[in-house]
Structure 1
């Protein structure tokens, strides 16, 4: 009787369905005794198959037998080296055996004990389950050490680790990799590389995307391998948390106008590390704001609960962070994500960018994205740019930002635009500046500036808030240091910062220098309005409607200009240009032509003004009607455009004087080539008009081109150029066919070669 009670008593401490607190205390006691605590996970392989084949009763009997033999087998296998603390039934046929060993217990010892237990358990189980007429039953086993730093958490994670070991096999290569991955996570052995995101119009870095890398030359060196193992081991949140911490360690290198792009997987988006005050304090330490951080919501996995997802996104927005939708165009629900998230940036997947220069369908799709982004006030970033032609095409359709190996590869530091791409963008920018140079004089900034309140940088945020509350019409406060503007605070940005969960507590009594925009757009009082407007509209979405600070020649503050005034003035200029353009050809008319000539006279470079006059146009117009006449005029304008496109300088000017008279201004180096193209192409350009109306009476159109070479000091104004051109044109018209003559070829003129 006594021996029976003792046997039962010996078994009681081992089996526990839910005694976690008791086990936690026992484990802590062993850890404090400097013991090594190991949890062994055991289950019966394919017990469900036994149930399906032989019925529920047989399966329950197998499980009952296994439970009865488990304590004795455990003691026989594990107490060779140590002591059993407890045996816990987890669920179904899954059990956890908590054991205590000396610190000298090695990994090889744990493997040998596991194999020994497996052999004993299978032998005992199959000996007592003879009623099952099938192959022998198998037992899975895995193990994981409990360090003792956070016992409750480790009891949970150790089961997950041991389950993976049991799944893949203790001695398998796959599990060896799994163990290496868990070691990587434990040591947080993740490095970040940074890929530049470039503002294409000027080649400057908008910011950098932080990309995770595992140890060099390891199985986890690539991001794909790293995140595949995280997904397989259900540790995605842990890995992403480490990546975000590593990325934020580099914010000290950001300038106030630059941004750090950090990936957020929809399945691991709710990170307290980001939503609590620690990151805000870190940003404040380096005089940055949450607007310097952009969270990229990846599209590689479907968002299953948009209501909860949107709620978390709004928490990030309240903190002041910016949001981007990553991989747009390649995910499960790109458009739905965009409509739910209202992102500040849309990153187009590289699958849309690859070979876009030769794919009209992709070009049309990109144009649609660009148009959509403009309407909803967000920015497009093209990913995966790998060739110059792809970059050129993206710029042509209006994409503002880009990243890819052609622009710059990921690196450990904040890499800049590579040299080859820099040269291309610089050339493109210079060419477009020349092409888009305004043909109307634009006003200086002093004509539209206004005043706003200014404060010194040591003033507290509390005072800025009071200024806005007391002056409801004021939307901005300029921050000065010895009359030099060093920052800007917009009403909406201040309220967004203070409206966050920790905004008032963090910033209310601090100097305004900690929350101001330290890199506001500044313009000289003598800058041209169109140039400032381009710079203003190139800013990121958050600062797009910030005022522009106007300074004098000494850099001192004199006023501000709102974006609304900039846009209104630009609209009036465009209206003036449209009203003075020729309605038939759309080319600039006489007002713009005169202004352009006067502006060109101020330059020191060698240019040629080519006056173009159609010969016998009136005869064709009278004979065949105004419809044919208009067609000839439009065709001539197109011919001049084509000549300038293929052989011009990139900064050519084409105008329509009126009727059949045109003007083309190009460089001396390009004049001959432009004229030769026109002479060669002129007759074929109108051949279909001849054939369609059977014009066979011997009359043919031609063009007389009179070139006036501009060089320093020869001409004072547009009238003098026109007088000279009229004389040269008279000489040209005396010759048959389409001809080009310059004033340098006339008798008594100084002989200057127009080739330059």
Structure 2
């Protein structure tokens, strides 16, 4: 009987060779002739997505194994995998979720794709927490031994010679993040990032925000890059690591300081957008630290600076967030909300923050010239902005056809590769 079960299992796994990739995303077998995960990752990256490797380490699995009989432990693992599958399916993330695998005996590994942009970090955090919460609830309800989860994640580097090597590197870094203090690789990452923060080894690029009516530069958004030629040059790698190692606040304050330095050096006369997460804005040190920067750069008026709230983190629990926003406005800073139109959370934040500027997410703008529903969404968001008294910036414009829809609908400002790619702030002085 046991032999027959093994034969059936092997035949079933080999039979998966013939199935479409979408049917083998849950714990696929490792094939020599065909690796469905590599195929999925390659396809997603060719279509412009960022791909994250998420490792969820089960820290007490070895102890659970010691407590259970061999067959009971196998049943426990099957139930664990089934619970993760159900948790993922219940969250309706089929567009983002790519696969889950058990590469390591003590962890599960997920592959998730995202639209480009650092704003996906808070969504990723929220998704991981929701999946773990749902699995933990199932174990509580069934009375089974509760697994203890410790997640880590890292984005797959797009600059690679062999994709498999890039995936392996992201997996190892994500595993180190999941293991945290017990892992040598994690300590290396912390050392590298602490050196970047201590020596302020980042650079800023600027991308113009254009006046749609005049086609002239209205402002520039400052975009962060890590040390050139390193794995942390990519901002997603840099900020995801900072978020998981508690360096996020220090990193964002360095960005603020570097932005003021560039404004002073170039004598930039237009507005500058600087990105901040709600966690940083809600930090009790934030106002004191930002006032110190203003004092250091006395010639730069806060009225020329827009604080752009970049991620859809919940404001709940951030005791100082609302008060800090009030102080920022009193100091003269403008407030912008990013990713509007990407979900309920961003629309809800408009009513709470009442921003001076609303940035419409690229998901609304992409192919808007070919999609009447998206144009209707744009019109609705413009009405909301008018009610709030906000200026509108449309993000992610990549062609003349999309730009013409903005012009037709009298959108105030626009940003995207159609107008200019990120470069140094001084480069934009010549055309401003």
Could you say which TM-score interval applies, normalised by the shorter chain? Answer: 0.5 to 0.7
Match of 2:293 among 263, 273, 279: 279
User: What is the SS of the residue equivalent to 2:223?
Assistant: strand
Deviations 1:272-296, CA, capped at 9 Å, x for gaps: 465453233345x32x421111000
1:642-677: per-residue Cα shift (whole Å, max 9, x none)?
A: xxxxxxxxxxxxxxxxxxxxxxxxxxxxxxxxxxxx
Q: Separation in 2 of the partners of 1:292 and 1:235?
A: 27
Counterpart residue number, 1:362 = 374
Deviation (angstroms), 1:214: 0.4
Higher relative contact order (CA 8 A, sep 6+): 2
For residue 351 of structure 1, the aligned residue among 338, 360, 363 is 363
Matched, 1:399 2:411: yes
> Is the CA contact 1:295–1:322 (under 8 Å) kept in the aligned structure 2?
yes
Structure 1's unaligned 5+ residue stretches are: 1-44, 55-160, 423-756
Name stretches of at least 5 consecutive residues in structure 2 with no aligned partner.
Answer: 1-58, 69-175
- Aligned residue in 2 for 1:319: 331
Please, what TM-score do these two structures have when normalized by structure 2?
0.55
1:162 Cα deviation after fit? 12
- Is contact 2:177-2:244 (8 Å) kept? no
Change over 3 Å in CA distance of 1:307–1:368 after alignment to 2: farther
Q: Say whether the 8 Å CA contact 2:210–2:218 is kept in structure 1.
A: yes
Q: 1:357 to 1:47 in 2, by over 3 A?
A: closer
Rounded to whole Å, the distance in 2 between the matches of 1:418 and 1:384 is 23
Give the C-alpha shift of residue 369 in structure 1. Answer: 1.3
Shift, 1:183, TM fit = 2.3
Q: Post-superposition shift, 1:329?
A: 1.8
- The secondary structure found in structure 1 opposite 2:231 is coil
Asked if 1:191 is matched to 2:206, the reply is no
1:340 aligns with 2:352: yes
Tell me if 1:234 matches 2:246.
Answer: yes
CA distance in 2, matches of 1:166, 1:263: 30
CA shift, 1:299, in A, is 2.9
What is the alpha-carbon distance in structure 2 between the residues aligned to residue 182 and residue 318 of structure 1? 33
Match of 2:263 in 1: 251
- What is the 5 A alignment of 1:113-128? none
Q: Deviations over 1:67-104 (max 9, x none)?
A: xxxxxxxxxxxxxxxxxxxxxxxxxxxxxxxxxxxxxx
| Deviation (angstroms), 1:395 | 1.2
Mark the CA change 1:237 to 1:206 in structure 2 (over 3 Å): closer, same or farther. Answer: same
2:280 matches 1:268:
yes
* 8 Å contact from structure 1 (residues 230, 239) kept in 2: yes
Match of 1:167 among 162, 177, 182: 182
Distance 1:219 1:345 in 2: 33
Change in 2 beyond 3 A, CA 1:384/1:163: closer
CA 1:165/1:280 → structure 2, altered by over 3 Å: closer, same or farther? closer
* SS in structure 1 of the partner of residue 425 of structure 2: coil
| CA distance in 1 between partners of 2:61 and 2:371 (Å) | 56
Task: Tell me the residue number matched to 1:329.
Answer: 341
After the TM superposition, which residues 220-619 of structure 1 pair with which residues of structure 2 at under 5 Å, given as runs? Answer: 220-252=232-264, 258-270=270-282, 272=285, 274-275=287-288, 277-283=291-297, 285-286=298-299, 288-305=300-317, 308-330=320-342, 333-416=345-428
Change (3 A) 1:190 1:244: same
Structure-1 separation of matches of 2:317 and 2:203: 32
The number of residues matched between the two structures is 265
TM-score normalized by structure 1?
Answer: 0.32
Where in structure 1 do 4 or more consecutive aligned residues deviate above 6 Å?
161-164
Q: Distance in 1 between matches of 2:339 and 2:288?
A: 24
Change (3 A) 1:240 1:52: farther
**In the TM superposition, what is the alpha-carbon distance from 1:49 to its structure 2 partner?**
3.8
Instruction: Give the superposition deviation at 1:231.
Output: 1.5
Other structure's SS at 1:416 match: helix
Q: Secondary structure at the match of 1:364?
A: helix
Check conservation: 2:211, 2:217, Cα contact below 8 A.
yes
Name the counterpart of 2:192. Answer: 180
**1:162 & 1:207 partners in 2: Cα distance?**
37
1-structure distance, mates of 2:405, 2:178: 52
Q: Any idea what the Cα deviations from partners look like across 1:342-382, whole Å, max 9, x if unmatched?
A: 10000111111111111111101111111222232210001
- My pick for the range that moved more, 264-273 or 219-228, is 264-273
The offset of 1:301, in angstroms, is 2.3
In 1, Cα distance between equivalents of 2:181 and 2:306: 41
**Residues 1:201 and 1:416: Cα distance change in structure 2 (over 3 Å):** farther
User: Would the alpha carbon gap of residues 377 and 306 (structure 1) be closer, same or farther in structure 2, given more than 3 Å must change?
Assistant: farther
- The answer for the alignment partner of 1:66 in structure 2 is none
Instruction: Check the 8 A contact 1:198/1:417 in 2, yes or no.
Output: no
Q: Once the 2 structures are TM-superposed, how far is the Cα of residue 392 of structure 1 from its aligned partner?
A: 0.8
Aligned to 2:227: 215
| d(CA) in 1 for partners of 2:282, 2:266 | 25
2: CA distance between counterparts of 1:227 and 1:408? Answer: 24
- Residues 545-570 of structure 1: per-residue CA shift (max 9 Å, x gap): xxxxxxxxxxxxxxxxxxxxxxxxxx
CA distance, structure 2, for counterparts of residue 208 and residue 414 of structure 1: 11
Paired with 1:393 and 1:198, the residues of 2 have a C-alpha distance of: 15
Residues 674-699 of structure 1 deviation map (CA, whole Å, 9 limit, x = unaligned) = xxxxxxxxxxxxxxxxxxxxxxxxxx
